[in-house]
């Protein structure tokens, strides 16, 4: 069974009415911070690390880690919602806002879509309008400490309003594309957009059956 099929089979828990506004349908609140990803945790030498901005843009830019740290820094406190049904409230990340990155680097594009590239060979597609928001951050820190390796050090994206698989860890590239293409999970049964409040989990039909995915996972 693939991952999308397993999650479709999980029981849908009842939502506490007090949390209903903040907790998207079918989600369970957790205070721990689960760790989820495919493959191995990458290791880096910061001196050779880079973030590449490319595709349909007026100019391609490659940033070093120092370049990023010298840009305007911001913190965002947000709730996060994983498609495997855990949500975690009040997470504070620090880094560079996507909007500030675009502004400071004078990036212009006619593209409406973006493909995010991450190690190892992970991709996620997003509408530019989902990145071009006040609360979207390229984060290097969590709760005022550098991200741990497993949570995406040295840099991860944080897109609070979409399922967390869009918040790519170990981000290395932001590619502006002219047509929307599915990324890694989007090619594997998950929704092209991924809005948790609309329960945009899957690209196919949804069937709720027991089993828990995230409780078996690793935590920090």
Ligand X SMILES: Nc1nc2c(c(=O)[nH]1)N[C@H]1C(S)=C(S)[C@@H](COP(=O)(O)O)O[C@H]1N2
Would you tell me which residues interact with ligand X (CB under 6 A)? 33-38, 82, 118, 122, 151-152, 164-165, 167-170
Q: Find which of ligand X, Mo ion, none residue 183 binds, CB within 5 to 8 Å per kind.
A: none
Nearer to ligand X, 73 or 188 (CB): 188
Place of tokens 């493959």: 39
Q: Find which of Mo ion, ligand X, none residue 167 binds, CB within 5 to 8 Å per kind.
A: ligand X
Nearer to ligand X, 36 or 127 (CB): 36
Tell the smallest beta-carbon distance from residue 157 to ligand X (Å): 8
Strand pairing class (218-219; 34-35): antiparallel
Nearer to ligand X, 54 or 109 (CB): 54
Place of tokens 């741990």: 148
Tell the smallest beta-carbon distance from residue 31 to Mo ion (Å): 18
Judge contact between 84 and 190, C-beta under 8 A: no
Q: Find which of ligand X, Mo ion, none residue 168 binds, CB within 5 to 8 Å per kind.
A: ligand X
Tell the smallest beta-carbon distance from residue 42 to ligand X (Å): 8
User: Taking CB under 5 A as the rule, does residue 165 contact Mo ion?
Assistant: yes
Judge contact between 87 and 80, C-beta under 8 A: yes
Structure tokens at 15: 């939502």
Return all residues near 189 (Cβ < 8 A) that are at least 6 apart: 2, 3, 4, 5, 202, 203, 204
Q: Find which of ligand X, Mo ion, none residue 34 binds, CB within 5 to 8 Å per kind.
A: ligand X
Return all residues near 145 (Cβ < 8 A) that are at least 6 apart: none
Site string for Mo ion, 27-56 (x = CB under 5 A): ---------x--------------------
Tell the smallest beta-carbon distance from residue 189 to ligand X (Å): 12
Task: Find the binder of Mo ion among 28, 68, 78, 82 (CB under 5 A).
Answer: 82
The one-character DSSP state at 163 is -
Of the candidates 36, 31, 4, 29, the one whose C-alpha atom is nearest the C-alpha of residue 218 is 36
Q: Find which of ligand X, Mo ion, none residue 191 binds, CB within 5 to 8 Å per kind.
A: none
> Could you tell me how far CA 99 lies from the centroid of its own chain?
16
Query: What does the alpha-carbon distance between residue 159 and residue 156 come to, in Å, rounded to a whole number?
Result: 10
Q: Which span sits near Mo ion by CB under 5 A: 46-54, 89-97, 158-166, 206-214?
A: 158-166
Judge contact between 75 and 158, C-beta under 8 A: no
Q: Which parts of this chain interact with Mo ion (CB under 5 A)?
A: 36, 82, 165
């Amino acid at each position: 069974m693939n991952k999308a099929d397993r999650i479709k089979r999980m029981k849908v828990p009842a939502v506490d009415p007090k949390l209903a506004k903040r907790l998207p349908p079918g989600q369970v609140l957790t205070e721990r911070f689960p760790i989820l990803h495919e493959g191995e945790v990458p290791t880096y030498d910061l001196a050779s690390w880079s973030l590449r901005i490319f595709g349909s843009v007026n100019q391609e830019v490659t940033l070093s880690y120092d370049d990023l740290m010298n840009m305007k820094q911001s913190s965002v406190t947000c709730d996060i919602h994983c498609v495997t049904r855990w949500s975690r409230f009040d997470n504070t990340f620090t880094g560079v806002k996507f909007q500030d990155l675009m502004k400071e680097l004078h990036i212009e594009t006619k593209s409406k879509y973006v493909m995010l590239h991450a190690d190892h060979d992970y991709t996620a597609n997003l509408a530019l309008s989902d990145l071009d928001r006040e609360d979207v951050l390229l984060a290097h820190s969590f709760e005022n400490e550098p991200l741990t390796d497993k949570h995406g050090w040295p840099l991860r994206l944080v897109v609070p309003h979409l399922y967390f698989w869009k918040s790519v860890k170990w981000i290395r590239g932001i590619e502006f594309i002219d047509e929307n293409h599915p990324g890694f999970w989007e090619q594997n049964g998950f929704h092209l957009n991924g809005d948790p409040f609309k329960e945009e989990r899957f690209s196919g039909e949804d069937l709720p059956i027991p089993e828990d995915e995230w409780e078996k996972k690793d935590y920090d």
